[in-house]
Amino acid sequence: MRLVLTHLLITLFYISAFCQVEKKDVMSTTHPVDSTAHASYLMHKAWTFINWTGNGPILETRYHDIIKIYDDQGEKYSNYEVYNYKYKNDRERVFKIKGTTYNIVNGSMEKTKLKKDDIFTEESSDEFTVVKWAMPAVRAGSVIEVEYIKRSPWIYTIPRFDFQMDVPVDLAEYTVQVPAYLTYTPIPSGLIEMERIEKEGRGDSGIEKVFLYKAHNVEALKEDDYVLNIEDYRASMKYEIYQSNFPGQVVRNYSKSWDDISRNLYKREKFGKQLSRNFKAIDEFVEGLHGLSREEKMKAIYTHVQNEYIWNKEYGVVCPNGIKHLLKTKSGNIGEINMLLVKMLVKAGIEAHPLALKTRYRGIMNPYFPSLSELNYLIAIVPLEEGKQLFLDASAKGYPMGLLPRRAININGVLLQKTSGKVIPISNPNTYSYQMMAQYEIDKLTPVLSGKGKSVRNIYASALYRINLNNTIHTVDESDSMEDHSEEEEYEEDEEDMLLENESEILDIKGVDDIYNRIVVEFEEQLYNEIKVIGDQIFINATLDFGIDENPFYEDERNMPIFFSHLQKEKRIAVITIPDGYQLQSKPEKASLALEDRSLVFNYEVKEQGNKLTIYYVFDLKNDVFTHLVYPGLKEIYDRIIEISKSKIVLGPLSDHE
């Protein structure tokens, strides 16, 4: 986020003027910049300040939106849900909700007011209530205007304000007004340019600081399959308390370090004390491992926890029910299962520690602003020789030791120890390797490519195949208190598997029963869609059914990094017999493409030997994270692969003189 700072010498006020909607706004049919937008924010404003009441200071935020609805798909932006946190006797509340819908009827602007009966409050969870309302008389062309006030008894965290939405925002404005004796740390995110205006003056609580942020013509933030969480890149601003210096009181610092967080966790009943307790079942199992090597002990403990205990689909760093309950019920959350894993490894004399992180779908943890609320997942980390580390997650069925489910793969995590907490990188341990070799004959009459072949998957690819084979693909809900995110489980569908299921017959399959074995599949198949006969020529898809049809990187420019879920190495060799009376007329040129650091390599070639054509296809992705600077080269390679995939190998009749 780029900020332009201006110091004001005049008094700054937040002015909320309802009924700012003009007839021309209602009559407009498309957004002037983004014609694809289903809706847009003509104005999105908020003002946060501390309101001094008889019960003490209250954090108050006043919101004011004007939203244009362009079509039916944009009507969802007229539905509001405001979540309010509650803890014991304290809770956030929403007040003074006002709303008007504007439509053009018979050439005149008609206003429909939001009624109190249209506003509902529901219990979302033990920690949250939600206030809901849907604006009345909304249709394509409507403009809605909404104002409301939210009050919070917690003055130490100023809520996040989003300047960027999923639709364009013509004007976004956020004002923060705080007493001078409270020092907050601003935490911006996003890539847009905005203006920052700062002043200091006298308010109800004495000297106050005022910060005004303005952004104009903010582009919509589009969904992206190649980031961990799009929210990491939404332009926003939030504040966390850093220090208080109340008159007549000692200065108090609120900022915490990862060391503080880790030390506090080890003092808690639901974390550190779980590691220090003894349990007979654990002692008996570990005693049975006497005589095994360190590697054998690790594998035995990992396999035991993985097979004996079931993840209840709840996340968390701590153990809400405790290890004793887990041992009894055989079911627990992420923290409990992997805390048990750590405890058993340590009991067996193997150095192991808990590693806290954010799930992949919640985005990247900010290492510079320590907060336990940032973390919602726990795995085990085992130091190895030469500075290497082994990451273990026993909650994931079907994954061999040393591999991680996709939900647990992120950029970094916090190593939690009794006296320290340290942010460390998490390298992606998963490489998807697939090798296939097949031979095909051409039937011109059908036409069809009929062939037999064999595929070999490495341990990770075999794990995914095995899980799919057992029909354990499912969706789980990740609850983030304020909202529910649906995350697709880490088990990915394998294109080859779908091909085999739909168009091929498996002749033999080996390695399915042991998760530490590679899976080898022998198959035969008929490829009807990869061949055409036109006149006396035969056209064969240059990459058969394993090419790429569409480039996921379609934008000309990109400001965000690119994340892949795993490393990948794909090698395919397909041998095609040229029918009698035919010869090769044309083929795609040989291609050897690579990024400058060779973190992505692609090779393609068609070789002719006698009456055989051999297609060589190699795709080698050696990194799972790329900066936006690499994007042009990445896009170019994918474009070239698609170009090859759309090209043809052409066979024609032998010449008369041959």
Closest CA to 602 of 560, 631, 645, 550: 645
Helix (H) or strand (E) holding 300: helix 294-308
Candidate from 30-39, 252-261, 434-443, 536-545 with smallest mean pLDDT: 252-261
Q: Evaluate whether the domain defined by 258-425 bears CATH number 3.10.620.30.
A: yes
Residues 6 or more apart whose Cβ sits within 8 Å of residue 50: 57, 58, 59, 60, 155, 177, 178, 179, 182, 205
pLDDT, mean over the chain: 89
Candidate from 61-70, 249-258, 435-444, 542-551 with smallest mean pLDDT: 249-258
Closest CA to 208 of 14, 62, 45, 63: 14
Q: Is the pLDDT of residue 416 over 70?
A: yes
Distances (CA, A) of 375 to 250, 312, 337, 413: 31, 18, 16, 9
Per residue, the 3-state secondary structure of 495-526, as one string, reads HHHHHHHHHEEEEEEECCCCCCCCCEEEEEEE
Residue in the structure block whose two tokens are 């990491």:
232
CA 147-151-155 angle, to 5 degrees, is 135
Domain with residues 2-7+34-253, CATH architecture = Sandwich (2.60)
Closest CA to 647 of 586, 588, 575, 573: 588
Tokens found for residue 371:
């907060």
Q: 2-7+34-253 and 258-425 share one CATH topology?
A: no
| Contacts of the segment 324-327: beta carbons below 8 A, 24+ positions apart | 324/277, 324/279, 327/279, 327/281, 327/282
Instruction: Please name every residue paired with 104 in a beta bridge, in sequence order, or none if there are none.
Output: 109
Candidate from 35-39, 329-333, 465-469, 620-624 with smallest mean pLDDT: 465-469
Strands 531-534, 389-392: pairing kind: unpaired
Instruction: Please name every residue paired with 188 in a beta bridge, in sequence order, or none if there are none.
Output: 237
Please, which pLDDT band fits residue 480 given cuts at 50, 70 and 90? very low
- For 63-216, where are the alpha helices, taking DSSP H only? none
Rounded Cα–Cα distance for residues 124 and 128 (Å): 5
Burial category of 344 from C-beta neighbours within 10 Å (exposed 0-12, middle 13-18, buried 19 and up): buried
Q: Per residue in 492-536, pLDDT tens?
A: 444 444 333 336 889 999 999 999 999 999 999 999 999 999 999
- Cα of first residue to Cα of last residue in the chain, in angstroms, is 69
Q: What is the pLDDT of residue 108?
A: 93
Strands 79-87, 56-69: pairing kind: unpaired
Tokens found for residue 128:
């949250």
Q: What is the pLDDT of residue 577?
A: 98
User: Running DSSP on this structure, what letter comes out for residue 399?
Assistant: P
Q: Per residue in 214-231, pLDDT tens?
A: 999 999 999 898 999 999
Task: Please report how many Cα atoms fall inside a 13 Å half-sphere around the Cα of residue 522, on the Cβ side.
Answer: 3
Helix (H) or strand (E) holding 242: strand 236-244
Rounded Cα–Cα distance for residues 641 and 628 (Å): 20
Q: Is the pLDDT of residue 459 over 50?
A: yes
Strands 504-510, 520-527: pairing kind: antiparallel
SS3 17: coil
Q: Sign of the C-alpha dihedral, residues 415, 492, 519, 449?
A: negative
Q: Per residue in 143-170, pLDDT tens?
A: 999 999 999 999 888 989 999 999 999 9
Q: What is the mean pLDDT of residues 471-485?
A: 37
Please, which pLDDT band fits residue 12 given cuts at 50, 70 and 90? very low
Neighbours of 477 (CB within 10 A): 10
Q: Per residue in 59-94, pLDDT tens?
A: 999 999 999 999 999 999 999 999 999 888 889 999
Candidate from 459-473, 512-526, 558-572 with smallest mean pLDDT: 459-473
Q: What is the pLDDT of residue 398?
A: 92
Task: Please report how many Cα atoms fall inside a 13 Å half-sphere around the Cα of residue 55, on the Cβ side.
Answer: 7
Q: What percentage of the chain has pLDDT greater than the value 70?
A: 91
Q: What is the pTM of this model?
A: 0.83
Q: Is the pLDDT of residue 394 over 60?
A: yes
CA 227-231-232 angle, to 5 degrees, is 65
Q: Are 605 and 650 in contact (CB under 8 A)?
A: no
Q: Is the pLDDT of residue 484 over 60?
A: no
Peptide bond into 447 cis (omega under 30): yes
- How large is the C-alpha radius of gyration of the chain? 30
Q: Is the pLDDT of residue 490 over 60?
A: no
Residue in the structure block whose two tokens are 């198949």:
525
Distances (CA, A) of 195 to 186, 231, 562, 628: 15, 21, 28, 25
Please, which pLDDT band fits residue 656 given cuts at 50, 70 and 90? low
Strands 193-203, 79-87: pairing kind: unpaired
Residues 6 or more apart whose Cβ sits within 8 Å of residue 246: 181
Q: What is the pLDDT of residue 19?
A: 58
- Segments making up each domain of the chain, as ranges: 2-7+34-253, 258-425, 431-653
Residues 6 or more apart whose Cβ sits within 8 Å of residue 221: 164, 165, 166, 230, 233, 234, 235
Tokens found for residue 217:
């013509």
Strands 310-311, 448-457: pairing kind: unpaired
Q: Is the pLDDT of residue 651 over 90?
A: yes
Q: What is the pLDDT of residue 369?
A: 87
Q: Is the pLDDT of residue 351 over 70?
A: yes
Strands 567-577, 484-488: pairing kind: unpaired
Neighbours of 546 (CB within 10 A): 19
Rounded Cα–Cα distance for residues 42 and 32 (Å): 11
Q: What is the pLDDT of residue 217?
A: 96
CATH of domain 431-653: 2.60.120.1130
Q: Is the pLDDT of residue 1 over 60?
A: no
